[in-house]
Amino acid sequence: MSDLGTLSKLYRTTQKLGLEDDLDSLLDEVLEQARSLIGFDHCAVLLHEPDSNELVVRHALGFDEDVLGLRLEIGEGICGWAAEHGRSAREGDVVGSWRYVPGLEAARSNLAVPLVLENQLVGVINVESRRPHAFTEEHEMLLTILGTKAALAIVASRTQHDLKQKLDLLDALYRISTLSTAKKSFEEVLSDVIDEAQKSLPQGDLAILLLDDEGHRLVLRHRGGYPDHVEGMHIPIEKGIAGRCARTGEAQLVDDVSRDPDYIRGVRGARSQLTVPLIVEGAVSGVLIAESRRPAAYTAEDLRFATVIAGEIASVLATTKLKEEAQRLAVTDSLTGLSNRRHFHDRVSEDLRAATRYEEEMALLLIDLDHFKSINDTHGHPTGDRVLAAVGACLAAAARAGDQAARIGGEEFAVLLRRCAAEQAHAAARRILGAIRELRVDAGDDTRLEISASVGIALFPRHGDTFTALFAAADAALYSAKASGRDCIALLADDDIPSDSQLDPPAGASRRAFGLA
């Protein structure tokens, strides 16, 4: 090719650089233009990472993807020598060369050109051929000129990318921070957080794993792109890249997971993984994982970006958890874990309205522990608290899905049975009393307390169609059970049902009591 033809081709070639939207497309264009200028069997672009002061293979032609992410120290191999000295290195025959690090199988000649802009090392273009002495001084000159334009385009692309990433980071932080004020459950916020993080790290699939209460295992709580069967999987903190991150509190950037002995497969076909800890007030609460099917998909800048995002995610999740816990405590009896009286009143009132609309039957059970005062007086209030907690657990276990169980106050409990007629209510009451009678509570000094209770039943709508009326009827029935000797079940006769204003059972009323037999 004439000098004029060469210059013309070089001009057309370099004019195309810098028109691509992203760095990968730019590097692909650099390699294609290098091939059109000089030809080769293999070519790679290695970019300089200032943080580690290493060269990292970012793009390649003629090689498997396995080379992506490979790292060379400055000064290592022909590429490292070119980077260290800031000038091209050309080997006519690499056989026996002290500078050559094996790349292409059966390679004979090698040319490495540093990418430098204003004395700043950007990277290295490296070409290889199976033919000895394949590259000439002209090839070196052409690749050097191409490299100069490529270095400018790479720096411009990185600058643009960094600016866009900073704007994206601010936008992501704002969107994630607003989730802490959303009226959503913890699980819903988790899902939204993953969605927002996915927008910020689109080059892979994401998952959040949270430490269990003991801090010994990571539990996969939410994932995007992961197979369904991994939902809820547990990873001990002694295992896996995620465990290593949680254990040390240090982010993990792995260019090729096939080379990491700690890797536990998540995304099918994953090659690279980025894992950052979720840290709240200096303590690790979990990890954010991003996995890509492409080797070396994540950069040091992605790592910094993900670390900032993870910090906001950790804060939002902690705030949401505290808010959810505060809401739970507001409606829950702290000793038994059951609903408190106010919450029970609100829930039952809602259920009564629904039952009226759909013409459903319900039953309200009021349960009062027998001789509970003597337990406190004889064995102390801590023992009494253990009794209440044991009964609360018993009622929670006995309640069906949709039923409501609550501690009304003191030693009195309530259970609302939905879609329940009289016969079913009696059966449920018998099961509950039987379960309570089987409880054995440690009172100290090798003493195991036996417990019994009395139950009053009121039926909706037979005994009342409001919470007040239903509660008064159940309370009157409970009074009857106590008067009949305790450890039994009572239901008022129809002519003894109190009105809404009669909160105390009428004296001398005729009642029926049902024993356990």
Cα 79 to Cα 124: distance, rounded to the nearest angstrom: 6
- The Cβ of residue 350 has, within 10 Å, a number of other Cβ atoms equal to 12
Instruction: Find, among 259, 302, 295, the residue nearest to 44 by Cα.
Output: 295
Average the pLDDT over each of 88-97, 247-256, 467-476, 500-509 and give the range with the smallest value. Answer: 500-509
pLDDT at position 328 is: 76
Cα 43 to Cα 322: distance, rounded to the nearest angstrom: 54
Summarize the confidence of residues 205-233 as an average pLDDT: 79
pLDDT at position 517 is: 30
Side by side, which strands form the sheet with 412-418? 404-409, 412-418, 362-369, 453-460, 489-492, 511-514
pLDDT at position 225 is: 64
Cross-strand partners of 110: 91, 128
Q: How distant, in Å, are the alpha carbons of 355, 400, 416 from that of 345?
A: 15, 19, 10
Q: Is the pLDDT of residue 6 over 60?
A: no
Cα 285 to Cα 220: distance, rounded to the nearest angstrom: 12
Average the pLDDT over each of 130-139, 144-153, 225-234, 456-465 and give the range with the smallest value. Answer: 225-234
Give the single-character DSSP code of 252. Answer: E
| Residue 145, phi then psi, degrees to nearest 5 | -65, -45
pLDDT at position 435 is: 92
Average the pLDDT over each of 180-189, 284-293, 343-352, 495-504 and give the range with the smallest value. Answer: 495-504
Question: Cα Rg for the chain, rounded, in angstroms?
Answer: 37
Q: Is the pLDDT of residue 510 over 60?
A: no
Q: How distant, in Å, are the alpha carbons of 249, 323, 386, 407 from that of 21?
A: 35, 43, 67, 64
pLDDT digit string, tens, across residues 72-115:
999 999 999 999 999 999 999 988 888 887 766 778 899 999 99
Find out whether 382 and 469 touch, Cβ atoms under 8 Å: no
Average the pLDDT over each of 5-9, 24-28, 40-44 and give the range with the smallest value. Answer: 5-9
Burial class (CB in 10 A: 0-12, 13-18, 19+), 146: buried
Cα 129 to Cα 94: distance, rounded to the nearest angstrom: 10
First to last CA, the chain: 109
pLDDT-based confidence at residue 10 (cuts at 50, 70, 90): very low
pLDDT at position 513 is: 36
Alpha carbon of residue 397 to chain centroid: 29
| Residue 22, phi then psi, degrees to nearest 5 | -130, 165
Cα 145 to Cα 275: distance, rounded to the nearest angstrom: 39
Query: What is the amino acid identity at position 28?
Result: D
Query: What is the amino acid identity at position 307?
Result: T
Find out whether 58 and 46 touch, Cβ atoms under 8 Å: yes
pLDDT at position 24 is: 79
Find out whether 99 and 91 touch, Cβ atoms under 8 Å: yes
The three-state (H, E, C) secondary structure of 372-399, written as one string: HHHHHHHHCHHHHHHHHHHHHHHHHHHC
Cα 300 to Cα 316: distance, rounded to the nearest angstrom: 25
Q: What is the Cβ-side half-sphere exposure of residue 56, based on CA atoms within 13 angstroms?
A: 18
Find out whether 273 and 201 touch, Cβ atoms under 8 Å: no
pLDDT at position 244 is: 94
pLDDT digit string, tens, across residues 256-272:
998 898 888 877 888 89
Q: What is the Cβ-side half-sphere exposure of residue 324, based on CA atoms within 13 angstroms?
A: 16
pLDDT at position 114 is: 94
pLDDT at position 179 is: 81
Cα 517 to Cα 511: distance, rounded to the nearest angstrom: 18
Helix or strand run (H / E) with residue 420: none
Q: Is the pLDDT of residue 204 over 90?
A: no
Find out whether 243 and 211 touch, Cβ atoms under 8 Å: no
Instruction: Find, among 69, 122, 114, the residue nearest to 88 by Cα.
Output: 114
Query: What is the amino acid identity at position 209?
Result: L
Q: How distant, in Å, are the alpha carbons of 212, 290, 307, 494 from that of 316?
A: 18, 19, 14, 55
Average pLDDT over the chain reads 83
pLDDT digit string, tens, across residues 492-501:
766 555 554 4
Which residue's structure tokens are 């629904």?
354
Q: How many residues are given for the chain?
A: 517
Find out whether 138 and 1 touch, Cβ atoms under 8 Å: no
Q: How distant, in Å, are the alpha carbons of 72, 181, 264 from that of 67?
A: 11, 46, 22
DSSP for 179-216, written as a single string: GGGSS--HHHHHHHHHHHHHHHSTTSEEEEEEE-TTSS
pLDDT at position 175 is: 81
Q: What is the Cβ-side half-sphere exposure of residue 251, based on CA atoms within 13 angstroms?
A: 22
pLDDT digit string, tens, across residues 386-423:
999 999 999 998 888 888 899 998 999 999 999 999 99
pLDDT at position 496 is: 58
Which residue's structure tokens are 């998952």?
207
Cα 126 to Cα 83: distance, rounded to the nearest angstrom: 11
pLDDT-based confidence at residue 504 (cuts at 50, 70, 90): very low
Instruction: Find, among 135, 130, 124, 137, the residue nearest to 38 by Cα.
Output: 135
